[in-house]
Structure 1
Amino acid sequence: MVQLRSDLLTPALQRGDEVITVAASSALEDEQSLLEGLKVLEEWGLVCRSQQVSERRWGYLAGNDASRQRDLNPESPAALLACARGGWGAARLLEHKQTWQPGWLMGFSDVTALLWARLAAGFDGCVHGPLLTTLAKEPAWSQARLHDLLFGKQIPDLEGQPWMGGVASGPLVVANLTVASHLLGSSHVPDLNGAILILEDVEEAPYRIDRMLTHWRLAGLLQRLAGLGFGSFKRCEAPEQIPGDQTFQLEEVLKERSTDLGIPVVGKLPVGHCCGNAALPLGRQAQLDGSHGRLILLR
């Protein structure tokens, strides 16, 4: 079971705390959306250090591994490391020993690799939530939720669809399914025993989602969970040219691969590549109510 180090619990942000932009994945394609995201944080009273990532590029990545590594491990730490965008590249940094620093790390999608590695090392402060390039486009409730989570205020329950009844509690783990699947077998996977796992993805055909979830089942990982939730699976529908009676639809795959596990299952949570993308703190205690389709943070 995930165990957060008690000496590394992350204090709530305060006005005047500093933010560093982390570009650990794909090269930035839209500087305006990045600046708009930074403006949201500044309106919350945070101080955003000058970012040098907008023009940085190495092939399809936001700079070479060394430059992206410096974003993640700055010489002068800040209270919040806010990831610019997803794509691909974060997992490459895990080939090198990480000197994780206390504080908050925020992002989703490809940032799953960093959130999971940090959580596996026992560090608190991992937030699966908006990227800087998506933050300004989030609806008001999602922005308010992220603000309240970072600033130590209570956040509301999340409502989804009840797929398999029962109630379970455990440490919360959230991930992009594809990114997390490519971490399996490494030392960067947090202990999933007794966890509440929430998965999301984008642009993956149902048969590929089936393949990944089957991988997790064969590894015995889904069988160890206390509860399982599914967020947004955006543009993951079966190809239109395949007749409906010759394929499986997304929801059929998710239910068939999960509802026989004997644990609560909730679908359609507002988490992932959707608007809004509800912020969730990894490693914190949560309760999943499969009878009412609800995810509740306990502390």
Structure 2
Amino acid sequence: MLRRPPPLTPGAPVAIVAPASPPRASDPYQAGLDRLRTLYDVRPFWASGSERGYLAAPDPDRVAALHRALEDPEVRAIFCVRGGYGCLRLLPHLDWDLARTHPTLLVGYSDVTALHLALFARAGWVGLSGPVVTEWGEADEATLSACRDWCEGRTPSFVDTYDATLTPLTAGTASGPLLGGNLAVLTRLVGTPFAPDFEGAILVLEEVAEAPYRVDRMLAHLQLAGVLDAVSGVVLGTFTTGPLDPDPPTLSLDEVFRDHLAHRSYPVVTGLPYGHHLPRCSLPLGLPVHLHASPTDATLNAEASLVAP
């Protein structure tokens, strides 16, 4: 059963948590807080000074902050400070009964993929893969407006405002819950008790600074684990390559995608403006969507509002 949160209204209380890494610098974080304060009643549940290496705080402290945000009856949304790394470490310690009782709008992306997918699997949450706090001070208006639209109950286009076009790799039509996010984080959930059931889902993927052979390895993992056979469609966002092998040759990312996906019996499309670069659409993870791909064009549309009516 999907648990959709109530809509976020201007001036509503929102919690700021850091479930993964701390900000790289204080200025973007403060600028993001300042921008959010013009829209909502911002209540920080994280403060600098508690960092532990690449983690925003020790695991128990990050878990406790999430629980406090969920327990607060006034909080209407949870905005994540940054991605980075750390959400996977929290999953065995979260109070899933509390999450099922208090569905709250969770906004973040990248490493926050782990929380989005686990909360869908264990508590039925839908969440928003959208800008983190450190981006709110610098992101373009299209990116921020789309995030607000989803939070407040509207259903913005995934592509129209971003000068983007979906390109079909395989034709077909499918509907199902939109699941996915960052490819590397998603593959680390597969085989754990926190992975969702991908049967019939529309799988959306993005990745940053990864060599083609590493993307190949992760897609092969999804194939061997049965995920690519279970889903009813695939949507590829932005992928960028990192350092290649010092001894070429290599495959291109397009060749990797075709090797793994071009023979599928379901629709596969590329070109979604979603990933680690701005401008970027926000994605309602867990929400039912409809994907259609003809030989020449493609569309992706939400079938419901992210928030409860």
The answer to whether the superposition gives a TM-score over 0.5 is: yes
Question: Residue 200 of structure 1: which of 202, 206, 214 is its match?
Answer: 206
Residues 117, 189 of structure 1: 8 Å contact kept: yes
Question: Residue 261 of structure 1: which of 264, 278, 297 is its match?
Answer: 264
Question: What CA deviation, in whole Å up to 9, does each residue of 1:75-133 have, x standing for no partner?
Answer: 42511110111111111001214232321001111111111110102433411111111
Is 1:113 the counterpart of 2:114? The answer is yes
Question: Residue 178 of structure 1: which of 181, 184, 195 is its match?
Answer: 184
Residues 158, 281 of structure 2: 8 Å contact kept: no
Query: One-letter code of the match for 1:37?
Result: G
Q: Which residue of 2 aligns with 1:222?
A: 228
Task: State how far apart, in whole Å, the 2-side matches of 1:53 and 1:230 are.
Answer: 35
Is 1:76 the counterpart of 2:72? The answer is yes
Task: State how far apart, in whole Å, the 2-side matches of 1:247 and 1:149 are.
Answer: 40
Question: Residue 88 of structure 1: which of 82, 85, 90 is its match?
Answer: 85
Question: What CA deviation, in whole Å up to 9, does each residue of 1:185-243 have, x standing for no partner?
Answer: 11111111111110011111110111111111111111111110111113x16738655
Matching of residues 148-163 of structure 1 within 5 Å: 148-158=149-159, 159-163=165-169
Q: Which residue of 1 aligns with 2:288?
A: 285
Residues 238, 249 of structure 1: 8 Å contact kept: no
Q: Residue 13 of structure 1 aligns to a residue in which SS?
A: coil
Q: Which residue of 1 aligns with 2:11?
A: 16
1:165 deviation in Å? 1.1
Q: Residue 116 of structure 1 aligns to a residue in which SS?
A: helix
Question: Residue 298 of structure 1: which of 288, 296, 303 is its match?
Answer: 303
Query: One-letter code of the match for 1:61?
Result: L
Q: Which residue of 1 aligns with 2:162?
A: none
Structure 2 stretches of 5 or more lacking a match?
A: 160-164, 305-309
Task: State how far apart, in whole Å, the 1-side matches of 2:187 and 2:62 are.
Answer: 23
Is 1:35 the counterpart of 2:43? The answer is no
1:38 deviation in Å? 2.2
Question: What CA deviation, in whole Å up to 9, does each residue of 1:224-281 have, x standing for no partner?
Answer: 11110111113x16738655xx210112112221121211011121111011221111
1:163 deviation in Å? 1.4
1:10 deviation in Å? 1.2
Question: Residue 60 of structure 2: which of 59, 62, 66 is its match?
Answer: 66
Structure 1 stretches of 5 or more lacking a match?
A: none
Task: State how far apart, in whole Å, the 1-side matches of 2:208 and 2:80 are.
Answer: 18
- What is the TM-score of this pair, normalised by structure 1? 0.91
Task: State how far apart, in whole Å, the 1-side matches of 2:245 and 2:226 are.
Answer: 33
Task: State how far apart, in whole Å, the 2-side matches of 1:53 and 1:294 are.
Answer: 42
State the identity as a percent.
36
Over the aligned positions, Cα root-mean-square deviation in angstroms equals 1.8
Is 1:139 the counterpart of 2:140? The answer is yes
Query: One-letter code of the match for 1:96?
Result: H
- What is the TM-score of this pair, normalised by structure 2? 0.88
Q: 1:65 to 1:237 in 2, by over 3 A?
A: closer
Task: State how far apart, in whole Å, the 1-side matches of 2:258 and 2:58 are.
Answer: 40
1:174 deviation in Å? 2.6
- Which 4+ runs in 1 deviate beyond 6 A? none
